[in-house]
Structure formats: structure tokens, C-alpha cells
A and B are shown apart, each in its own frame.
Chain A
Amino acid sequence: MTPETESPWLRRLAFVVVLATFGLIGIGGLVTSKGVGMAVPDWPTTFGYNMFWFPIHLWSGGIFYEHTHRLWASAVGLLTAALSGWIWVRETRGAVRWIGLAAIIATLGLMGVRTQGMFIALAVAALGMIGFCFTRVGSDARAIRWWAALAFCAVLVQGVLGGLRVTAMKDEIGIFHGTLAQLFLVLLAAIALSMTKLWRELPAWDCAPGIARYRRVLLALSALVLLQLILGATMRHQHAGLAIPDFPLAHGKLWPATDAASLAAYNSARADVHDPNPITAAHIFIQMAHRLTAVALFAAAVWLMIRARRDLGRAHTLSRFALGWHVLVFVQACLGVFTVLSNKAADIATLHVLFGALTLVSIALAAVCAFRLAANSAVDATVALPADSRSVRTTDVT
């Protein structure tokens, strides 16, 4: 974040967008948990209406959740546009400023044409722009305007993915939709973080070198959490309910049988109200992978906590973060267990989604901080006195 973009109101807006996106992920989780993702069969219209004028008396049953999800998503889209535009204006000058602003306003205007073709065309353009944004942040990661532009393009693509999930009736699109939602939240949270006092003052903290040394560990943990969330999204969007309904065993065994006779027996014993798709061996393997990854993740969280304490001391910021994150992973694991034991009760399953998002955002932001500190110390090392170089060296933790 550059001094030009430092504004308390801009920071507040960034945090509002983060909270709104977190809420949106919750509503999205509720839609999937209740099995009502297809309750509104058309998009971008709603039962033929402009979605903003869909009569309230028709918000019955599953329509309530799905339509609320759409309206909330529209609000997040607008807030993201406002945030991106604001950051762009504060960080740029002259013609570039007005071209960027005009592009955002023109995109919003074109979204007033409520046809699928228009939205797909905008999403294709946004995908191209995302590629361009990556080249810009690749050359200067501190240019927040390009991260903001990336967020604006991502929210557009995310909205279109959600719409196509409905109209194309493809579960696979739902997996991408669920995963991109988590990444989008991380991106917004990182933008918001870059506007904080903590971000500005972090390099001066005594703990900075210690955090920087753990950057690759934190990145690897972020990747592991993301993998776990992708597995979770895959399970949710297969619409097969609980492929394994018991815990800690799986269909009464350490590793469940997946032969045809066993699958037939599992399916005949199910009495789920949503009468989900019959269980297949693939559904069982995915859920077992999710369980095993959860074990690996919890073990990794414990390892990080112990290693950071031994290495950096109990009072070190990273040690305290690792302790808190380990608790978060534990709560998330418990929610996963309760999701199974409650036969995937919608509220618990949704909490599981939300805590999954929190787990990812927290570790990813820690990784972002660590990489920033590593980059800073590398820069400092080139200008600092040789005597100081030992204190800022960023040897990796392996």
C-alpha cells in the first residue's frame, strides 16, 4: 500500500467487502447444504424477472436461499467495484486514472444488459484482464491497484461461474465456483491487510526475521488448506450427501469396502430426505481423501506450533499465531466430524464451510506477511550495514 492509497474510509470499505464476501460464502454454503442451488432455473434473470424486481411473495422454499445468494453476490460485486475504483483513482494519475475508472463503470453499465451472452462476454474479457493483472503484480507486487483490478475481474468471473452452474446444470462448475470464492476472499483480505497499520509497521517489529524464515512453510500450509477446501467443494457439489455416514470408522471399517455389493447395501440403507445421488466408489474415495487430508493438516498445525515455540520462543508473534491457528484447525476438524454425525445438518455443514474459509484466510495472510518481510529484509540487506545482516537473514525453515 502506497501513501496515496492510505485512507481510513477506504480501509473501512475494504473490510466491509471482506465481511460481505465471508457472509456470501456462508450463504453459498447454505444453498448447497440445503440442496437448493437449482431452485431458480434461469440466470441472469430470476423466473424471467429482472432479479432485483423479483416479487418477495415468490421467495418460497429453496428460492429464498438461492435468490438471497444472488442478491448478496450482486452487492459484493458492486462493493468490489467501488473498492477497486477507489484504489485505482488514488494510485493513478492522468489518463490512466480515467481509463481505469471508465472501464469499471462501463462494465457495470453493460451488466445492466441482463442476458447470458453479455455476461459471458464480460467474463471472457475479465479472464484476459486477469492474465494482464498477473503480469503487472508480477513486476511490482506492491501495486495494490492491480490486485484491486484483479479482484474486480475475479468477482465478475465468479458471478458468471455461479450463473453457468445453474443454466449449464454442471456440478463441476460448482466446484470451481466454490474454490474461486475462497481465493477471492483471500485476495480481498490481503488487500484490506495492506491498508492496515499492522502492515506498515510489521517490518519494524523484532519478530519480523523469524516470521520471514517460515514463509515457505506457511505457503505450503496454505496450499494444503486450499487442497482440503477443493476436496470439500468436490464432495458438496457431487450431491451425493454423506458417502460415509459414520465416524471415526468409515462404514464400520478403517477403510470402507467399495465393491458393488457393498455400495448397493450402503445405498439401500440411506434415508436422506434429499434422496441424493447413489453413492459410488469415487464418492467414498473423495471423502476418505478429505478425512486423511484433515488428519495431515491437523498434524501440520501441531508441528508448526511446536516448532515455532522451540525455534522462536513462546512469546514470538508467529508462535502465538501458530497456537491460535492450531485451535482454529481443531475447531474446523470438530465441525467436520459434527457434519458427519448430524447427517450433514445444513447449519453445521455451513459453519464447516465458513471455518474452512477462516482457516485458509488466516494462514494465507500469514504467508503473505512472511513473504513481504522476506522481500523487505532482502532489500534492507542490500542497503543495511553488514553488521545488521545477521539479524535480518531469512534462512528458510525446512
Chain B
Amino acid sequence: MKHTASVLAATVLVASLGSALAADITGKITLKGTPPPETPITVTDPNCGKAKTPVSKTRFYAVGKDGGLADVFVYLKAGVTTKPAPSATPAALDQAGCEYTPYVVGVQTGQKITVKNSDQTLHNIHPTPQVAGNKESNRAQMAGGPLLEFTFDNPEILLRFKCDVHPWMFAYVGVVDHPYFAVTDADGNYTIKGVPAGKYTVEAVHRKTHLKGGGGLTKDVSVDASGAKADFVVELK
């Protein structure tokens, strides 16, 4: 009994210590090379422009200051031993101007994703997972209709949401089994918050360059009280 209490105390101590030592992994993703020009989109539904200026072209390569690449999903690929329960706060996708906002989002397995329709037109929300166990569905959402909720039980990078009514509309969801992930901002910067001290492999995945054959860019980091830094360069060949 006494022994069990000691073990429990030690476990709590280690967990608390790990928590206390939790820090952030930060970095920047830079694009090297000239991306192909974005393709203009012909919006065929006049209702698309009623709530917000409709989308005008594709956004495969959103390059910001100093070549920073936006919409890259960054997560801990290996080294995570403690996997907290998913956040009760859902990840949110909005449909406005007949495009998804944000374009890339991350969630933990089991965490809810809510999808909102801010447009004055009907959308269908059609996640198309490729990993077994994640369910494909296709649900209609009328203008101003209630939020639709989705959850996925298995990790998948990146899981595509699409709208078949407006076939240029896409969003990509990175689903991982822990909360240590981030998406790069307009300038290519990211922060993975609250990572316990330890050694990890960080992977950065860009939708156009790292799927089906390419794999993501990876880097090993060691997180201590001051955190860690991992920059990546996405090269276009």
C-alpha cells in the first residue's frame, strides 16, 4: 500500500514537473523556388458574393514575408508519450464567399470540428478521408443553417473537406492523436504550444508538395524549459 502511494506520488511529481517544464516549439517554413501561378476561379453561383467577396483564385501557395509559406501543417510526428484528452473546444471552419476559412486547420482525434455556413447559398460539406476508420460523409447545409459537427477517430494528414456544389471549395484538416500541432500563419510562422520537455520529431506538411509520394519535412528537436526551434525550407523542384 505504502509502495503504491509512493509510485503514485512519483508519477504525479513527474507529470507536474513535465507540465511545469512544458514549452513551445516555434519556427518558420520558407518556400524556395517559384510556385506555379494560381488558377483563376469562375464563380458560377451569384449567391456566393452576397455575404463576402467571393473567392477569385486558387490558394495552393500562399507566400508571405521573406518567402514564408502559409497553411503548412506542423505537428509532432514522434516522441509524444503523454496524450491528453482532446480539447472540448471545437475547431471551426466557416464558409464565406464560397471558400473555406481557414484553409488548413488541425484537430486532435475525437475533437469536434464545427462547420458554419455564412453564405447566402446552400453548401454541402463532404469530408473525404483516406484512412480506414475515418468516415466519409456528405451533408447539406442551407444558408444560415445550424452548425454541422464532425469528428475523426484516426490520425490523418491531411483530410480533405470539399463542397461539390461549388467544386473549387476545399479545406484540409490535419488530424493527430495529441494536441501538439500548429498551422503556419501568413508569414510562415508557427508555434506548437505547451510541449512537455523531451525529444521529438517535428514534421511539416504542405498540401501541394508533401502528399502521396513526397512525405513531409522532418526535423528532430529537443525541448527544454526554453522550448525549441525548428525551421523548414520547402523546395520546389
Q: Tell me if A39 and B165 are in contact (CB < 8 A).
A: yes
Q: Is A95 an interface residue (CB 8 A)?
A: no
User: Which stretch (A180-188, A257-265, A290-298, A383-391) binds chain B?
Assistant: A257-265
Interface of A is mostly: loop
**If A60-B47, A61-B121, A273-B41 touch, does A268 touch B167 (CB 8 Å cutoff)?**
no
Give A38 Cβ to nearest chain B Cβ, in Å.
4
Interface size, chain B (Cβ < 8 Å): 35
Q: Is B65 an interface residue (CB 8 A)?
A: no
Please measure, in the bound complex, the distance between the C-alpha atom of A260 and the C-alpha atom of B209, giving whole angstroms.
Answer: 12
Q: Tell me if A261 and B213 are in contact (CB < 8 A).
A: yes
Q: Is A269 an interface residue (CB 8 A)?
A: yes
Please measure, in the bound complex, the distance between the C-alpha atom of A41 and the C-alpha atom of B126, giving whole angstroms.
Answer: 9
Please measure, in the bound complex, the distance between the C-alpha atom of A269 and the C-alpha atom of B60, giving whole angstroms.
Answer: 10
**If A60-B47, A62-B165 touch, does A269 touch B36 (CB 8 Å cutoff)?**
yes
Q: Tell me if A273 and B58 are in contact (CB < 8 A).
A: yes
Please measure, in the bound complex, the distance between the C-alpha atom of A41 and the C-alpha atom of B139, giving whole angstroms.
Answer: 6
Q: Tell me if B165 and A36 are in contact (CB < 8 A).
A: yes
**If A41-B126, A261-B213 touch, does A271 touch B165 (CB 8 Å cutoff)?**
no
Closest-by-CB residue of B relative to A269 is: B36
Q: Is A267 an interface residue (CB 8 A)?
A: yes
Q: Which residues of A contact B136 (CB under 8 A)?
A: 169
Q: Which residues of B contact A62 (CB under 8 A)?
A: 44, 164-167
Q: Tell me if B211 and A39 are in contact (CB < 8 A).
A: no
Give A42 Cβ to nearest chain B Cβ, in Å.
8
Q: Which residues of A contact B210 (CB under 8 A)?
A: 264
Give A33 Cβ to nearest chain B Cβ, in Å.
10
Please measure, in the bound complex, the distance between the C-alpha atom of A166 and the C-alpha atom of B137, giving whole angstroms.
Answer: 10
Q: Tell me if A271 and B212 are in contact (CB < 8 A).
A: no
Interface size, chain A (Cβ < 8 Å): 35
Which residues B153-170 have CB closer than 8 A to chain A? Answer: 160, 164-168, 170
Give A198 Cβ to nearest chain B Cβ, in Å.
43
CB-defined A-B contacts under 8 Å, sample of 21:
A35-B167, A37-B164, A38-B164, A40-B124, A41-B126, A41-B139, A41-B164, A47-B122, A58-B122, A60-B121, A61-B45, A62-B164, A166-B138, A261-B213, A263-B213, A265-B237, A267-B212, A267-B213, A271-B58, A273-B167, A278-B212
Contacts A264-B212, A275-B160 known; list 14 others, CB within 8 Å. Answer: A38-B138, A39-B164, A41-B139, A169-B138, A263-B212, A264-B214, A265-B237, A268-B237, A271-B39, A272-B39, A273-B39, A273-B58, A274-B168, A275-B170
